[in-house]
């Protein structure tokens, strides 16, 4: 199946038909027909009720029904009952529109002309009602029906005057002829105008369908984009987003109309700074550590209004940094493999020879103190270069992860004893602060040992600079998805916020003698096991490095 066939068969889009078909349907039976019929029937009810009230309330002084009061009363009452029944028929559309359109107008002509005969004919004033009924009916009548109805109304008026003359009343043929001419003029004038109204209404309806189709298409495209997008208004409320953005930000439920502050505080804080500080780039890349999903997110911000209007709506593209790292992992490993092979053959042997020569020179009996100091410098830096080579070779030679599911607390207790004994730590300098029982993780134990050893070793080194060593291990489950995590906490000087995003970059270090590869290798090993390594500021000073493990119950082999 092709992409466009899949798109057409998704069921999310329902296009409402072609323009010509919609226009034809609107002309055949437009909504204006039902609106006009309903409004006209309300008018009919009001007129019938008003005539009955005036007739009975005014008594002998009533201007209506003076010729034949019983006939007037019966006609007005029947007219009112017809209007009530017709309201029910309109509401439930018991008959086709053509029948419901023509029938009431014919009843109007008969009823009004009868009441005219009982109320002084044309001079009684009731004939004006036919102008209203025929004119309004011309809006909804089809083809030549308005002229036919106008002719019937004219003949009814003339017939009423003729009957009045035959029964002894004075006929008013000039007034009847003038009224008939007005009715014909009204029918001829309104019909072309009605045609324009119908076409405009049909076109407006089609425009509405086009907009709805376009809205559904936009919604489909947005929801199925590989990129995660969020649109915020000037008040930092979510106006548009897709499912991948909600999943990436760890949002639960619908994000619409929610403040971005409630969804992601780091992203909201940076956005507020970006709106006020025009010195920042219009398309910044920032890394947000979300505690719910523990994903490193790269955000790209762009104003939707003018290019320099940062206070208006903003479009944010979100990318999962771990996915980006996975895409370039193979090329990195290949490059590091070639580099490590070159280093191993070209540097390690000469460095080893220099270190051995310096050691032999330092053991000579006739060497001076200054020369011995120089040999110590040679040995120190040779060891440092060897350590760098070992780290690079370790990164390039690492094997595929062999994850195992195990209980975390017993493993940490064994690790704590080994680490404290190796580094000769005093009791309490490395402690398991809080680890719930029965918390399982799934990771390669050798990889976890290497990562945790590196984190604890860094914590001990940096904490010793403050005059005391206090490293704490803390474990639990994340609030969003319940994924287990392990934290290494220290009371050192912490990391400068300006460089917090760089500490996981290869060869970046602020400590003299460091290689800058420890944290980089640790994060790579975590990602190899579908875990995440994050840095968090510790309130009151110090650092927190958090390992968020993959959900052991959803591990994909």
Q: Do domains 228-323 and 404-554 have the same CATH topology?
A: no
32/406 Cα distance (integer angstroms): 72
Grade residue 352 by pLDDT with cuts at 50, 70 and 90: confident
Higher confidence at residue 273 or residue 509? 273
pLDDT for the residue numbered 497: 72
pLDDT digits (tens, 9 = 90+) for 459-510: 888 776 666 678 889 888 876 566 889 999 887 777 777 777 778 877 777 7
Domain boundaries, the chain: 19-215, 228-323, 325-397, 404-554
Class (C level, CATH) for 404-554: alpha beta
pLDDT for the residue numbered 440: 86
- Residue 301 pLDDT > 80, yes or no? yes
359/407 Cα distance (integer angstroms): 46
Higher confidence at residue 336 or residue 494? 494
pLDDT digits (tens, 9 = 90+) for 385-441: 776 666 666 655 555 678 888 888 899 999 988 888 888 888 888 888 888 878 888
pLDDT for the residue numbered 170: 87
Structure tokens at 274: 């970006």
Higher confidence at residue 298 or residue 545? 545
Please give the share of the chain, as a percent, with pLDDT higher than 90. 10
Mean pLDDT, all residues of the chain: 79
545/489 Cα distance (integer angstroms): 7
CA 43-46-50 angle, 5° bins: 140
For 445, the enclosing helix (H) or strand (E) is helix 445-464
* Cβ contact 444:402 at 8 Å: yes
pLDDT for the residue numbered 399: 56
Stretch 269-275: mean pLDDT, rounded?
Answer: 85
Tell me the CATH number for domain 228-323: 3.30.450.20
Stretch 295-306: mean pLDDT, rounded?
Answer: 78
pLDDT for the residue numbered 3: 46
């Amino acid at each position: 199946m092709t992409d466009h066939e899949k798109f057409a068969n998704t069921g999310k889009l329902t296009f409402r038909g072609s323009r010509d078909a919609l226009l034809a349907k609107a002309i055949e039976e437009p909504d204006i027909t039902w609106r006009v019929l309903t409004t006209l029937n309300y008018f009919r009810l009001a007129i019938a009720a008003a005539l009955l009230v005036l007739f009975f309330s005014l008594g002998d002084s009533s201007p209506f029904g003076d010729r034949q009061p019983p006939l007037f009363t019966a006609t007005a009452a029947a007219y009112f009952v017809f209007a009530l029944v017709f309201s029910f028929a309109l509401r439930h559309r018991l008959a086709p529109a053509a029948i419901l359109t023509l029938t009431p107008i014919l009843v109007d002509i008969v009823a009004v002309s009868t009441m005219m005969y009982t109320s002084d004919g044309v001079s009684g004033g009731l004939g004006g009602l036919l102008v209203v009924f025929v004119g309004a009916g011309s809006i909804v009548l089809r083809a030549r029906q308005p002229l036919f109805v106008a002719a019937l109304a004219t003949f009814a008026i003339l017939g009423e005057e003729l009957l009045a003359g035959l029964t002894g009343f004075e006929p008013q043929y000039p007034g009847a002829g003038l009224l008939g001419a007005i009715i014909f003029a009204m029918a001829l004038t309104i019909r072309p105008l009605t045609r324009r109204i119908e076409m405009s209404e049909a076109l407006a309806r089609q425009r509405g369908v086009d907009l709805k189709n376009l809205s559904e298409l936009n919604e489909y495209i947005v929801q199925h984009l590989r990129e995660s997008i969020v649109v915020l208004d000037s008040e930092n409320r979510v106006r548009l987003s897709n499912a991948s953005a909600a999943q990436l930000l760890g949002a639960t439920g619908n994000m619409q109309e929610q403040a971005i502050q409630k969804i992601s505080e780091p992203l909201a804080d940076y956005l507020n700074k970006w709106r006020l500080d025009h010195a920042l780039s219009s398309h910044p890349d920032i890394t947000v550590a979300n505690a719910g999903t523990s994903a490193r997110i790269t955000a790209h911000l762009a104003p939707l209004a003018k290019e320099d209007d940062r206070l208006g709506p903003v479009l944010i593209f979100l990318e999962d940094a771990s996915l980006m790292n996975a895409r370039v992992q193979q090329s990195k490993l290949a490059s590091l493999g070639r580099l490590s092979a070159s280093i191993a053959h070209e540097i390690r042997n000469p460095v080893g020879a220099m270190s051995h020569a310096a050691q032999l020179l330092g053991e000579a009996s006739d060497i001076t103190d200054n020369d011995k100091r120089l040999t110590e410098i040679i040995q120190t830096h040779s060891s440092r270069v060897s350590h760098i080579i070992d780290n690079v070779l370790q990164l390039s030679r690492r094997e595929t992860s062999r994850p195992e599911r195990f209980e975390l607390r017993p493993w940490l207790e064994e690790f704590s004893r080994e680490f404290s004994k190796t580094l000769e730590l005093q009791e309490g300098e490395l402690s398991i602060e809080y680890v719930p029982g029965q918390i399982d993780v799934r990771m390669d134990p050798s990889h976890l040992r290497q990562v945790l050893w590196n984190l604890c070793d860094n914590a001990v080194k940096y904490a010793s600079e403050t005059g005391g060593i206090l490293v704490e291990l803390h474990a639990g489950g994340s609030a969003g998805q319940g994924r287990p995590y392990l934290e290494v906490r220290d009371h050192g000087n912490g990391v400068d916020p300006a460089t917090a995003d760089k500490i996981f970059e290869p060869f970046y270090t602020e400590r003299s003698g460091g290689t800058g590869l420890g944290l980089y290798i640790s994060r790579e090993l975590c990602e190899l096991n579908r875990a995440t390594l994050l840095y968090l500021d510790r309130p009151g000073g110090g650092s927190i490095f958090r390992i968020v493990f993959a959900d052991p119950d959803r591990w994909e082999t």
